[in-house]
Structure 1
Amino acid sequence: MEELLLDILALLREGAHLDTATLARLVRARNVDVREVSQHVSKKGLHPFYLHVKRDDPERWRSWEIDESLERRLLDAIRVKPRRTASGVATITVIARPWPCGGDCLFCPNDVRMPKSYLSDEPACQRAERCFFDPFLQVSVRLAALGDMGHPIDKVELIVLGGTWCDYPAPYRRWFVRELFAALNCSDAERAAEVEARRARYRSAGLTTDPQRLAARASDAQQRVNEGRTTYAQALAELYGPNTPWHDLTAWQQADQGEVECQHRLNERAAHRVVGLVVETRPERVSAAGLAAMRQLGCTKVQIGVQTLDERALEACGRLAAPAQIARAFALIRLHGFKIHAHLMPNLPGSDPAADLRAYRTLTSDPRFCPDEVKLYPCMLVEGTRLGALHESGRWTPYDEATLTSLLAECVVEAPPYLRISRMVRDISAHDIVAGVKRTNLRQQVERAVRQSGRPVDEVRYRELATDRADARRARLRAHRYDADVAREVFLEWVLPDERILGFLRLSLPTAHGARVMEEEGLPTCASHAMIREVHVYGAAAPLHRTSGGAQHQGLGRALVERACRIAQDEGFAHVSVISAVGTRDYYRRLGFRDDGMYQSRDLGKNPAQDAEGPPACDDARRP
């Protein structure tokens, strides 16, 4: 491994740029004469090896004569999967324990080892099962893995999956979030000790992480569910209900709000700060009280399963929420300040490509909806779902690859400039898919089709800076304004001359209708407050208080906030609130915001943080 590392250092000293292909050639050259595969070197092992030598063999490390500049370029070169932190933060996905679901959708997987709609072969689900679905263990394992791959891990977005968050008991939800934060707040030594203690506790309770034993334990119940002889909920009661080890664990898997807030306070200055907390729900489960409870836990974004706005397809699939109920859910989520991340499923029973495109256009242009992000998940058939009967009878057929690619490419091209399409395919193993798209690189194929069309693209992910370096001095600030049902929205973005995005901000300006909804529902937000719902600066995630080669820590976020405050003031608002994540509270305090209940607020006209020359100039581009 040392020889490979020295090869890389030699090229870096010569000023060479090490791309993926160059690094792969170096690895192959070092392995060519090594017959024993177990002795082969790999890029994956470079970063842990380097850190190990630097920490445990300082004399050897000094012999490499690495200064700060060279080390920075070396770590950039040997980072594994650099795209993982290209959005600006390190993302950790965790899965809650299996729990009954209030819905029974035609297409939804019924894997009894997982929460509803998830499959045990999905990567995040495999990690969760190996960790007994324990949030502390899941975060600890993922934190170590990202660190070993060379990613900065001091700014973390936590994504909590597992079906409908509101369906879980409140004490369990509080415990789950408390443990997420606790894993990030403790020292490395404390975390390692707690990981061992927890694993021992689960094993002593009679639980296992052995895949074969887990599959055998669930096989009978799974077969009965697949054959329709029992329901998913009934199977969960057998496997996780009374007289099972899982049921005994519920006595300590609970917490009160005070314990959560204690971990919040610790995280404000922790080594690994939470800059986003995401949960998912269904439209019919959205309520003012439920959203307030999410906010108390520190949530900043809500994923919501829309699937379609076509009423015929909704009815055919057994979805419980009609478009009017979905619209109400969007309004409440927006007025609470959350980012809105909608799930949409093309190719549902009862739909067709034209109807799918109409539903997408309605979702992204109708003021009742207008989400900030969208996941486009083509419907696919997995074993054990009621969709199987329709497929066998010929009443549902998956789109061919060309049709699906064309549809998704049109969605990308028609996306408004404030919308980010986060994903285009579920992370499901090909052997689990009975019928439907199995191409894991579907997004690359879609974007290739978009490029070949020559049509302009405004969609956010297509334009984001990602891992590239950028000169912020070449960027200009641009505003896109559009109407939502309960607020006028402003999407501020820093863009380069080639239209790549360095950063953006989402600002909501409540309307008179929004003010009435706030009053009627008793929301914790106020109509006299504009709301900053998101601030995001791109570029490879930079450690706190350092500057990356991308756009972070160059003052772009602060400039976005100042421009948003000026816009709000010009629109007649007396205050600006921000739905800050726990780990960003201190940042906003430095910008003149004060803690204000579930949010942070700043009085307009009293701005100790603003530079004397005021916020930067801004191009105003109204959406047609």
Structure 2
Amino acid sequence: MEDIILDILDALRRGENVDDAALVKLVNARARRTGADKRAFAKRRLLPYCQRVRSEEPERWASWGVTPELEERLLAVLRMKPRRSASGVATITVITKPWPCGSDCLYCPSDVRMPKSYLADEPACARAELNAFDPYLQVSARLTALSQMGHATDKIELIVLGGTWSDYPAPYQTWFVTELFRALNDDARAGVAANPALAAPGQDAGAVLASEDDLPPGVVERRARYRACGIAVDPRTSRDASEGAGDPGEGARGAARFQRAVDDGALTYNGAVRELYGASPAWCAAARWQVADMADLERAQRANETAAHRVVGLVIETRPDAVSPASLALIRRMGATKVQMGVQSTCQRILDLNDRGISVGRIREAFSWLRLFGFKVHAHAMVNLLGATPDGDRRDFARLVGDPGFLPDEVKLYPCALIASARLTERYADGSWAPYTADELMSVLVDDVLATPAYCRISRMIRDFSAGDILAGNRKTNLRQMVEERLRRPGPDGARREVREIRFREVGTSGVDVGALSLDVVPYETEGTSERFLQWVDPEGRIAGFLRLSLPDPALVARHAAELPVAPGEAMIREVHVYGMATRVGAEGRAAQHLGLGRALVERACELARDAGYDRINVISAVGTREYYRQLGFTDHGLYQQRRL
């Protein structure tokens, strides 16, 4: 293992570009010379080996002569899945425990081991189940995996999924978020030795995780607490579930009977969850200590302001009919900065056919409240629902991104996929629903991306359902890549297609020539606000950073003064994001981060707000960015930070 690392270092010192293809050649050459199994030099094993040597064998590390600059280049070669932090932030997704759902949509899966609409073998869900849905343990597992893959974890976006957040009791919500912050504050990463990638070829990867010696004290304590309640917690706490979760355990096998009853229509999802969790002595015992108050949460938040792993974004998932001033004030106090919301369609006929149980008017109202509170709005949209057609889906998406009553900042745009536990199976059986052909689906998604404005980001195009779970519908995991390849081809008229959507234009892992950037301002109007999207773009239109400035209608704010935490005359910065590979706080580099682009965006937003007649500006800052905004002249002010103009 040491020899191949030295080969890589020698190549880097010679100024060679060691990309994946070059790394494979180095590995193959070393394996031929030594007669070793080339699997022993697999990329997923090289970085953990380096991390262990650096941590536990300082003399050997010193003998390699690795300067800080060379170490950064070596990390770039060995980093696994670099796209995961190419947006400048490392993301950790956690799942709340199964809970009765306030809705029963036709297309929604009903896996009794998971919150409604999620499946047990989705990567984040598998990780959650292994860790008893405990927020601390889930963060520890993911934080460990990201570090072991070579990603900086100083800036973390927490995404809390599980259906409708406000369906859960408030004390559980508060406890859940408190434990997320606590895990980051504790730096709850497993030791470098507890890495399954260090197992030799053919060795059980779980063998390196059998001991608790390399696990953080908080992880050991929580595992013991769940075991005392009678809830099994998998010993592979630090294992990344996306690499294979293994045996789901007795709890999963015990749920099979309830799942069959749900699939057969003899039991509802809510009834099964109440039996499995609400009536379980073990889960009831755990629920008695899964509570916290706001004072606990605020202490954890204050500690996180200067922690090694700072929360720079907290995302909560909910339904439009659960959005209200009271619910938004609570999640804002918890530190939330973005809301994921299941819209699915803006056509009332489609919503009704799919038993969505919500009106388009209520969806519009939810968008309005979210923007007035300053949240980023991440809408879920589905194509190929019951009753939909390709042309109808095109019109529906165009309305979502073009009607002032909607206009999300981000969209999850994915096709409806048929899962056995969804009631849509009956419509599939009688022929009233069928999946689009591959060509129809591709055409719809391409047209939807082309219709997306410059201020909107399509975050993903598939759910993480395994092909085995999908009875009918798209099974291609690289659907997004296929769509983007189609978009790069000339259009029907032979001209280059103009794609304005954010993710298509992100600088990603590439460097940035700051001298070539220009600051572009895209204005647009919503019902109740005037928006300004400020973006740093290069001559090719690639985006290196952006800011969302909201100028609320003062009369509208005044009419709702009793419900809103903001006042007339106050503008709102809803998001500031600078792209580039996530870099450790204070580090220098060629990424777009650390070039002063964020500060320049904020200053320009303040100028625009002042010129528009506003005398104060708020920012919906995350807990981990409070210090940054204080340095820019903002002071803590209620649920936000504020600066006089």
- Say yes or no: TM over 0.5: yes
- Aligned: 1:65 with 2:89: no
Residues 519, 536 of structure 2: 8 Å contact kept: yes
Equivalent residue for 2:182? 182
Instruction: Give the equivalent residue in structure 2 for 1:297.
Output: 334
How far apart, CA to CA, are the structure 1 residues paired with 2:26 and 2:165? Answer: 47
Q: 1:517 to 1:324 in 2, by over 3 A?
A: farther
Distance 2:467 2:189 in 1: 39
By how many angstroms is 1:203 displaced? Answer: 1.8
Offset of 1:241 from its aligned partner? 1.3
Aligned counterpart in structure 1 of residue 273 of structure 2, from 236, 240, 243: 236
Cα pair 1:27 1:43 within 8 Å, conserved:
no
The aligned residue for residue 268 of structure 1 is 305
Are residues 189 and 82 of structure 1, via their aligned partners in 2, closer, same or farther at CA, if it must alter by over 3 Å?
closer
Residue from 510, 517, 522 that aligns with 2:552:
510
| SS of residue matched to 1:449 | helix
Contact kept in structure 2, 1:518 and 1:527, CA below 8 Å: no
Match of 1:54 in 2: 54
Change (3 A) 1:512 1:529: closer
Read off the aligned partner of 1:455 and give its amino acid letter.
R
Q: Which amino acid aligns with 2:61?
A: W
CA distance in 2, matches of 1:187, 1:512: 44
Q: How many residues align?
A: 603
| 2:605 maps to 1:561 | no
- How big is each residue's C-alpha offset from its partner over 1:515-560, in whole Å with a ceiling of 9 and x where there is no partner? 24532x6111222110000000000011101123210011000000
Change (3 A) 1:189 1:400: closer
| CA contact 1:284–1:320 (8 Å) conserved in 2 | no
Q: Tell me the amino acid that sits aligned with residue 476 of structure 1.
A: S
Query: What is the deviation of 1:243?
Result: 4.0
The aligned counterpart of 2:250 is 213
Alpha-carbon deviations, 1:559-585, whole Å to 9, x = none? 000000000000000000000000000
Alignment partner, residue 538 of structure 1:
579
- Matching residue of 1:469: 511
Name the counterpart of 2:204: none
**What is the SS of the residue equivalent to 1:369?**
coil
Residues 321, 600 of structure 1: alpha-carbon distance in 2 compared, 3 angstrom cutoff: same
Which residue in 2 is equivalent to 1:432?
Answer: 469
With over 3 angstroms needed to count, the CA separation of the structure-2 counterparts of 1:325 and 1:188, relative to structure 1, is closer
Offset at residue 322 of structure 1 (A):
1.1
For 2:566, give the aligned amino acid.
T
Residue 345 of structure 1: SS of its match in structure 2?
strand
d(CA) in 2 for partners of 1:500 and 1:378? 27
Conserved 8 A contact 2:414-2:462: yes
What SS is found at the alignment partner of 1:66? coil
Distance in 2, matches of 1:392 and 1:339, equals 39
Q: 1:587 aligns with which of 607, 628, 636?
A: 628
Query: What does residue range 199-598 of structure 1 map to in structure 2 within 5 Å?
Result: 199-208=223-232, 209=234, 210-452=247-489, 453=491, 454-512=496-554, 514-516=556-558, 518-519=560-561, 522-598=563-639
Q: What residue ranges of structure 2 are gaps of 5+ in the alignment?
A: 191-214, 235-246
Per the alignment, residue 614 of structure 1 pairs with none
1: CA distance, partners of 2:288 / 2:142: 26
TM-score norm. by structure 2 comes to 0.92
Shift of 1:212: 4.2
Preserved contact between residue 539 and residue 548 of structure 1 (Cα < 8 Å):
no
Alignment of 1:88-127 (within 5 A): 88-127=88-127
Which segment drifts farther, 56-65 or 113-122? 56-65
Amino acid at match of 2:324: S
Shift of 1:400: 1.0
**Match for 1:248: what amino acid?**
A
CA deviations over 1:15-50 (Å, ceiling 9, x no partner): 111222222332344445888869622111222211
Please list every run of 5 or more consecutive structure 1 residues that lacks an aligned counterpart in the other structure: 605-624
Q: Distance in 1 between matches of 2:288 and 2:426?
A: 41
Give the C-alpha shift of residue 402 in structure 1: 1.0
Q: Deviations over 1:34-86 (max 9, x none)?
A: 88869622111222211211222111111111112111111111111100000
1:378-405 CA distances to partner (integer Å, 9 max, x unpaired)? 0010011110010011100001111111
Contact 2:188 2:219 in 1 (8 A): no
1:412, distance to aligned residue in structure 2 (A): 1.0
My pick for the range that moved more, 111-120 or 19-28, is 19-28
The one-letter amino acid of 2:578's match is V
| Cα distance, 1:513–1:361 mapped onto 2, change above 3 Å | farther
Moved more, 374-383 or 34-43: 34-43
Is the 1:343–1:375 contact (alpha carbons within 8 Å) kept by the matching residues of 2? yes
Q: Is the 8 A contact 2:453 2:500 kept in 1?
A: yes
Q: What do residues 252-286 of structure 1 show as CA deviations (whole Å, max 9, x unaligned)?
A: 00000010000000000100000000011101111
Letter paired with 1:480 = V
Shift of 1:426: 0.6
> Which deviates further from its counterpart, 498-507 or 199-208?
199-208
Distance 1:33 1:400 in 2: 50
Partner of 1:198: 222
Give the residue type in structure 1 aligned to 2:332.
Answer: R
Q: Deviation per CA, 1:413-433: give whole Å up to 9, x if none.
A: 111000100000111100000
The 1-side partners of 2:48 and 2:284 are apart by 39
Cα gap change, 1:143/1:189 in structure 2, threshold over 3 Å: closer, same or farther? closer
Residues 143 and 188 in structure 2, CA contact (< 8 A), matched pair in contact too: no
Equivalent pair of 1:399/1:436 in contact (CA under 8 Å): yes
The one-letter code matched in structure 2 to 1:96 is T
Show CA shifts across 1:231-268 (max 9, x none): 00100111001343111111100000010000000000
**1:4 positional shift:** 1.4
Cα separation, partners in 2 of 1:26 and 1:244, compared to 1, 3 Å: farther
Mapped contact 2:617–2:642 kept (Cα < 8 A): yes
Distance in 2 (CA, whole Å) between partners of 1:577 and 1:560 is 14
Alpha-carbon spacing, 1:189–1:488, altered in 2? closer, same or farther (3 Å): closer
What is aligned with 1:86? 86
State the superposition RMSD in angstroms: 1.5
Structure 1 residues 32 and 111, CA, compared in 2 at 3 Å: closer, same or farther? Answer: farther
Aligned equivalents of 2:187 and 2:262: distance in 1? Answer: 44
- Aligned residue for 2:98, secondary structure, equals coil
Greater mean deviation of Cα atoms: 591-600 or 376-385:
376-385
Could you report, residue by residue, the CA deviation over 1:197-225 in whole angstroms, capped at 9, with x for unpaired residues?
11122122222245142331101100000
User: CA offsets, 1:145-197, max 9 Å, x none?
Assistant: 10011100010000000100010000000000000000001145897011011
* CA distance 1:523–1:414, change in 2 (3 Å): same
Amino acid at match of 2:289: W
The answer on whether the counterparts of 1:540 and 1:549 sit within 8 Å (CA) in structure 2 is no
Question: Quick one: structure 1 residues 48 and 578, their matched pair in 2 at CA, closer, same or farther if it must change by over 3 Å?
Answer: same
Residue identity (%): 52
- Normalising by structure 1, what TM-score? 0.95
Deviates more, 1:291-300 or 1:74-83: 74-83
Relative distance call for 1:134 and 1:212 in structure 2 (3 A) is: closer
Is the 1:486–1:513 contact (alpha carbons within 8 Å) kept by the matching residues of 2?
Answer: no
